[in-house]
Amino acid sequence: MPLLLLIDTTTTLCSVAIARDNEIISEQEHKGDFKHAELLTTFIQTCCALANCTLQDVNGVVISKGPGSYTGLRIGTSTAKGICYALHKPLIAINTLHAMAISASATLPNLPHYVCAMIDARRMEVYDLILDEVGRVVKKTSAQIVEITTYNLFNNAPFYYCGDGAAKCEELLAENKNAHFLPNITTRASNMLPLALVKYAAQEFEDVAYFEPYYLKDFIAGKPKQAK
């Protein structure tokens, strides 16, 4: 039974969990502002204490690789890589949107449907990925400017949106009669466990030295304020 440390810092939610086999045994989260650098190490220590283990006991570190916030991804990735390098642990990387979509699908009836996981990018742009009811990826991760007709191709079945990108676009997308929203499904470390267990069993590990997050888009810094 693997003991896994899971880390997700892709959005404003800083989330850490420890899982033994297929059960989450400790979890810490904070949402609302970017305090990831301040909170992440503390959350990891707290999760270990609650799970009655040490980082040395962990069999692998699972990182939510993006897409998402550039700064958040850097913080989570550097922390995960540091642990793996120092303690000689394998690193497992999981697509953030795929993990969220899998989590959403688990709450739905086993009937034809689509799940669209969305992360806020900027303005009316999101990062999205779509699964069907059997968990097949029918639209790969992409940066998408959302319009009322964006997802019309999938109008033949109930279409479920989740993530902070969906909340931003809800008023626009709700005009489709097949649209449904899952406000409680968001990015979090525990979402990654099903996909992480598959990768762990297959020993599908990242090269710790060379692994980089999945930014999808280049970082664009905010414009500096003009001096008065």
- The per-residue pLDDT for range 111-128, each reduced to its tens digit, is 999 999 999 998 889 999
Query: Which parts of the chain have pLDDT scores under 50?
Result: 219-228
Decide: 186 and 10 in contact? Cβ < 8 Å. Answer: no
3-96+187-201 and 97-182, same CATH topology:
yes
pLDDT value of residue 223: 42
pLDDT value of residue 194: 97
Locus of tokens 């086999």: 21
pLDDT value of residue 222: 42
pLDDT value of residue 224: 41
pLDDT value of residue 122: 82
Fold of 3-96+187-201: Nucleotidyltransferase; domain 5 (3.30.420)
pLDDT value of residue 89: 99
Percentage of the chain lying above the pLDDT 70 cut: 95
pLDDT value of residue 218: 55
CA dihedral 25, 34, 12, 225 (to 10 degrees): -170
Who contacts 133 (Cβ-Cβ below 8 Å, separation ≥6)? 105, 108, 110, 111, 112, 113, 114, 157
pLDDT value of residue 220: 42
pLDDT value of residue 148: 87
Judged on CB neighbours under 10 Å (0-12, 13-18, 19+), 25 is: middle
| CATH class, 97-182 region | alpha beta
Q: What are the residue ranges spanned by the domains of the chain?
A: 3-96+187-201, 97-182
Note the pTM of the prediction, 2 decimals.
Answer: 0.92
